[in-house]
Structure 1
Amino acid sequence: MEAQTPLIRMRQISKSFYIGLPNELEILHGIDLDVQRGEFLSIVGASGSGKSTLMNLIGVLDRATCGSYLLDGTVVEEAADSALSAIRNKKIGFVFQNFNLIARTNAQKNVELPMMYAGLAPKQRHNRAQELLELVGVADRMDHQPNELSGGQKQRVAI
């Protein structure tokens, strides 16, 4: 039986931040990671160990300094910014620690936003957002701003 190609394959990934010449701070060094389709993954470590940096690379919010990253057939280091935007919109996502909801926009509109960028019609977005908020148990809070939601409710809206 042939081995399945991982959904995520990272090889020798490194990430450095330049903090003024000639200073360079290497956060990640030589990371190898395979994640199969449907597999769950936890990234744990001490504060400052590079967990968020790695998540930003996996979520194509940032690019590695060196190494190769194949995400569902896309060679990330060679992809144009527009291709990475499409990946973020359609293929990968995660809930940020601070949820990244738009403060002046109610829960329903926060859920609708990615659908707007995907080109869904307003009525379709509205109906789908209601359906999704019902699924995560916050349909009764769809008209509330993020500052009117509990931490758990914000997390469910972000999902």
Structure 2
Amino acid sequence: MLKNKFLTFLSFLAITFSTSLIGGLATIKFKEPWYSLLNKPTFNPPDWIFGPVWTSLYLMMTVAIWLYWHSNYSDRNTVYIYFIHLVFNTTWSVVFFVFHNMALALLVLIILIALIINLILRFKRVKMLSAFLMIPYLLWCSFALILNTSLIILN
């Protein structure tokens, strides 16, 4: 059982951080000079903050889904929703940084936040710690929603 738990953790970790890799590559390749030329709100975080924050969030997301998966009442549909939410997570970076479409990125972010809330509610019924681990992610994405909206208004 321990080996199975270890392998599932590694699997969830690889899948979750693959999302990070794809989004990160899209951001690095297409961010500049476009993003630097945008008018930004005063509360726009410095670039260096995004790496540590997202690394922490992806790790918490991984632990949340792993704990949920190994609980007594987990269901596959919730895991599928987790994977779908990862697609939307990556899609935001591609739409925003590759296509420079802030309005469509905002729509993707709204869907992503709805999926995160859905996951929190599903996790809460089975594994409260998994729900709690998703709250910082929800808060960060809510901040991103405000930031994304501000960028549309300012540009």
Same fold by TM (over 0.5)? no
What's the TM-score once normalised by structure 2's chain length? Answer: 0.27
Which structure has the highest strand share of the two?
1
Which structure has the highest helix share of the two?
2
Larger RCO: 1 or 2 (CA < 8 Å, sep 6+): 2
What's the TM-score once normalised by structure 1's chain length? Answer: 0.26
